[in-house]
Amino acid sequence: MSKVLIFCLMVALSFSCTVIKPNQVNIAENYATVLKGVSAVPENMYFRLYSLKAQSEQAQLSGLVSTTGAANEAIQYLDESFKNRIAFLNLVDSITEAYNIVRDYADLLLALVNESYLSRFIAQKSSWQLSFEKLTSKYFLTAGKVSNSFTPVSVGASGLIGNILQEIGTTKIKSLQKKYLQQAIASSTPIVKVICQNFIDLDLPRLKADYVAMPSFLRENYKDFLGNINAYEKASGNNPYSYYRNYMPVYNYMQFQYYEAGLLLTRMEKCMKDLLLSFDAFLFCFDHDVSRSNLPEAISILNDSYSSLQLVISNFETIHNKYYKMF
């Protein structure tokens, strides 16, 4: 019985040390590209909504500052606005650090399937390891403060990754790529899954709530802005061209940004959910002979939703140009 067990272990070890096939390399590179792309979107979404909110508040604030008779009161308004902006930028930074973990995970995958990428990665593997450990530790600390329902996973996986990286840096890895890639997936996937799940459970509801509340927020602030503008314009006869040229575009552009944010939010939600459902399918590709022509359905769905997400982002500039021509 023990001889059979030893034989099975030897076969398994031999299988795990086979070279990754070219089709598997292509799948891994494509998947890592998706991970890196998706990791940048949450910050983009948060910043878009905050920028829109800040513009609206700034319009209202300009009216308050212009109508208050007390300089100290005006300065108080400005100081409070500045503090709010800094607080939000700090929040966005912490969110960005979380998704940088996903970015680093993608970098590790690329290093394990691409020889030229690996040579650059080895040169910075120590700083990568330190960065990865810092990012995971800080993310778990921050997320735990945001929600009592947050359940962190162990960051010990980064230690295992460090061991793998150390061996990669001292050994020719071409014949061991499959072994290392599978280990990296096994140790990193739980962390990335937690980040994706917490985006869906924590970030997404907050973003949706902010998005739903935004139209009313924009309208009320713009009403205050117009009220102060009307008082100013009465002195010069309420010239309609002043509204057409100076004041209406302020609100029109905020409406347009809200429209863009809705497109991005919808695509981002689907892509993140598809990503969360694709991890097991991705691992399947390295246990079986899978090519681009017979990808697991979960990965094909992810590729489609990611392409849709990237198309929306890439079209923003074109839409902007058309919008400016209209107005």
SS (H, E, C) 230-286: HHHHHCCCCCHHHHHHHHHHHHHHHHHHHHHHHHHHHHHHHHHHHHHCCHHHHHHCC
Residue 246 pLDDT greater than 70, yes or no: yes
Question: Which residues have C-beta within 8 Å of that of residue 220, sequence separation ≥ 6?
Answer: none
Residue 1 pLDDT greater than 60, yes or no: no
Model confidence band, residue 6 (pLDDT cutoffs 50, 70, 90): very low
What confidence score (pLDDT) does residue 147 get?
54
What mean pLDDT comes out for the span 115-123?
A: 82
Please tell me which residue, 302 or 127, carries the higher pLDDT value: 302
The mean pLDDT of the chain is 79
pLDDT digits (tens, 9 = 90+) for 317-327: 888 777 777 76
